[in-house]
Structure 1
Amino acid sequence: MQKLQSLTVLRAVAAATVVFFHVMTPTGHTFGEFGVDIFFVISGFVIALVTDNPALTARRFLADRIARLVPLYWLLTLGVFAGALAAPDLFNSTTANFGNLLKSLLFIPYRKESGQIFPMLFVGWTLNYEMLFYAVTAVSMALMRRRRLLLASALIFVIFCAAKASGSHGVMADFYSNQRVLEFPLGFLIYRLWNFGIRINPLLAGGMAASAYTWMAYVNWHGLSHAPLLYYGAPAFLLIVSSLSLESAMDAGLLTRTAIFVGNASYAIYLSHPYCVEAARKLLPNAIDDFHPAAPVGVAVIIVVATAMGGALYQFVDWPMYRRARRLLQSAPAVRSRESGMAGSNPTRLAVDEEPAGDVPANRDTA
């Protein structure tokens, strides 16, 4: 089983970037939104890797993706609903609406009371795109196993164009005409390049990775991000290509092991950090004299707390729930998709690391 530590570390960087963005958002001057673009491109790479296996069926692929995303997301969404029901004054734009709860749980985009297209757990908007991506990939696997990546890319492009051409200002048209849906196929392309053995000199790759991240931070900080595919998607493409070329430079030191654990826990950190950020903003100033959430020390403390809480959630809640859900959903016999015996050349890549704190194979977490 080949474990891509470089991508796991990059997921840790992306998770910390998003947490920083939400810590600093009230100041009106921040960067970090592009962390989700990094996740989307990684997701495309990971799914291309996962589906390059002759033993994998469309049903089993979709079952595993549902098992990975749904349990923790539903748990934390229900937590938001319960909070809005018990203490509505604590929420700015979320009410205990059963219809909106159902849409959130079923990954159906809708406009919140603020007018923005967010589910109850607002960071879950990215999962609405992920679930569309998984559904399109599953359909492509069932219809055209050998050319599944090409068909999935074409279907995503058709959905984007149809939403754009509709001229509607409805929720679905607005949501699926976002250029970010086109970032998943960029991950497909990276996989093809990686699978062909294309690598960059590690010294050059390190410079490219740092430059790509710096560019995205600069664009985000100065509010130039009107075309996310160009300003974020393309640099994320270069960042991930470069990171994969740094795989040989990964060591077994404490810093690397810590980053790998954080990368493993990135999904739990991403979903849970709004709880931690808001709690820290409200509680820490009262507990610590002169504590300011947007000050450098305050930002560092909140990021560490959110990361630690997300790591604990991953270790003791998220990963156990995923394993149980996966066993439950995959207990029924699978029906092989068309041409399934003709795809891929390395079925061992589908193996799942059984240790929650261990190195993550490239096909585990994608969000």
Structure 2
Amino acid sequence: MKLTYLVNVQILRFFAAALVVFAHVGVEVGNVAARTGRAFEEIGLIDWGLGVDIFFVISGFIMYYMMHDRFGAPGAPADFLRRRLIRIVPLYWICTTLMLASLLAAPQLINNNGLDLKHIVASYTFIPWPRADGELFPILSLGWTLNYEMLFYALFAVALLLPRRAGLAALGAMFILLIAAALLAPDRFFLLKFWGNPIIGEFLLGTCVAALFLNGRRLSGAVALGLVVAGIALALAFFQTAAYEHVWRLVTGGIPAALIVAAAVLGPALRENGLARALALGGDASYALYLTHPFTIKLFGVAGAKVGLPLVAIYAIGFALTVLVSVGVHLWVEKPIGQWLVRKTSSPKRAVRAAS
């Protein structure tokens, strides 16, 4: 029996989150090594942030796949935004509050760059705002990606006001104009510079993959595997070039990510087995994994250092713990809250669809 193509996407979500977690576990292990006088060298083979690029491409794919038949439909923009807010906001607010409490209670354990009311409010409202060191990171620093997600949701909701062809054209035009304006704007316009970063083009790459999928385009297993290999090879090659930091991330991360997502979506569906089901569950919990792993890593890093665990054990066990914790958070926190909000905000006819 084969799983569906969207399960392929869920499994890829898990691997994307795992890339980010792997990098952050390495950072914490490096911190432990520095505190305990041990030697450690991070694995710098690839930019592990490629996981974020994959997330952005998947997001563009999912949004267009879900809503492709609702362009111009009455109430579609509001329904879309309601579902996205239910999906994204609750767990992010919970984790942001936990990080805020941690900064206040144990600042010595966390890179505390200072707090002010504007930054706190901006962190909860998905507005990029400079913290004390001038960087545009929210209280939960990895929430910078969600600031881009919310921008995409807003622009996509505007596009949904129009018939499909006009809506897609408008969506592309809004992204292009935003990027162009940001490139021309002086640095003091930091909101425009952030929102107009070319990385937002990765969402459009995802919509292109969705259009291919909806038009019935499919790839053989061999071609799909070739795309994955090409995507990884490109990511490796870009990362090893001297000009890597000066090239748009849309190119160095977005193109490899789009190739990998296209392979997962357009290639053959995976056969059902225990491993595939476990990885799909990891994909279901990928948002929880992304948001909760900093807490798990930090706590286990402190505990592991105190009992003198070998660095490799802190790395391996820490990574495994982040996955286990995220599955628990997904099943017992994220999912019940989402289901409750769906029931409270949806008509019975739309409740099932809103939970997707």
* Match in the other structure for 1:116: 135
State how far apart, in whole Å, the 1-side matches of 2:236 and 2:93 are.
31
2:7 paired residue number = 5
Q: Map residues 305-316 of structure 1 onto 2, 5 A cutoff.
A: 305-316=321-332
Q: Give the TM-score normalised by the residue count of structure 1.
A: 0.84
- Residue 323 of structure 1 corresponds to which residue in structure 2? 339
What's 2:250 paired with?
Answer: 229
Aligned residues: 335
* Residue equivalent to 1:282: 302
3-state secondary structure, aligned to 2:161: helix
Higher helix share: 2
Query: Aligned partners of 2:301 and 2:238: how far apart in 1?
Result: 27
Letter in structure 1 aligned against 2:84: R
Partners of 1:244 and 1:333 in 2: CA distance: 29
Secondary structure in 1 aligned to 2:160?
helix
- Give unpaired runs (5+ residues) of structure 1: 335-349, 355-363
Matched, 1:190 2:209: yes
Contact 2:292 2:326 in 1 (8 A): yes
Residue correspondence of structure 1 range 88-99 to structure 2 within 5 A: 88-99=107-118
Q: Determine the structure 1 residue equivalent to 2:320.
A: 304
- 1:48 aligned to 2:48? no
Q: CA deviation at 1:40?
A: 0.3
Task: Give the superposition deviation at 1:28.
Answer: 5.8
**Does the 8 A contact of 1:81 with 1:120 survive in 2?**
yes
TM (norm. structure 2) is 0.86
Q: 1:45 to 1:88 in 2, by over 3 A?
A: same
Deviations 1:251-287 (Å, cap 9, x if unpaired)?
1111111100000110000011111122222111223
Q: Cα–Cα, structure 1 residues 265 and 90, in superposed 2: closer, same or farther, change >3 Å?
A: same
CA displacement at 1:323 relative to structure 2? 1.6
Verify the 8 A CA contact 2:83 2:354 in the aligned structure 1: no
Residue 118 of structure 2 aligns to a residue whose secondary structure is helix
In structure 2, the CA distance between the partners of 1:242 and 1:270, relative to structure 1 (3 Å rule), is same
C-alpha distance 307-65 of structure 1, shift in aligned 2 (>3 A): same
SS in 2 for 1:247: coil
* Paired position in structure 1 for 2:263: 242
Larger RCO, structures 1/2 (Cα 8 Å, 6+ apart): 1
Moved more, 325-334 or 86-95: 325-334
1:264 corresponds to? 284
Query: What pairs up with 1:140-159 in 2 under 5 angstroms?
Result: 140-159=159-178
Tell me by how many angstroms 1:112 deviates.
Answer: 1.7
> Which residue does 2:19 correspond to in 1?
17
| Identical-residue share of aligned pairs (%) | 30
1:160-171 matches, within 5 Å, as 160-171=179-190
1:134 equivalent to 2:136? Answer no
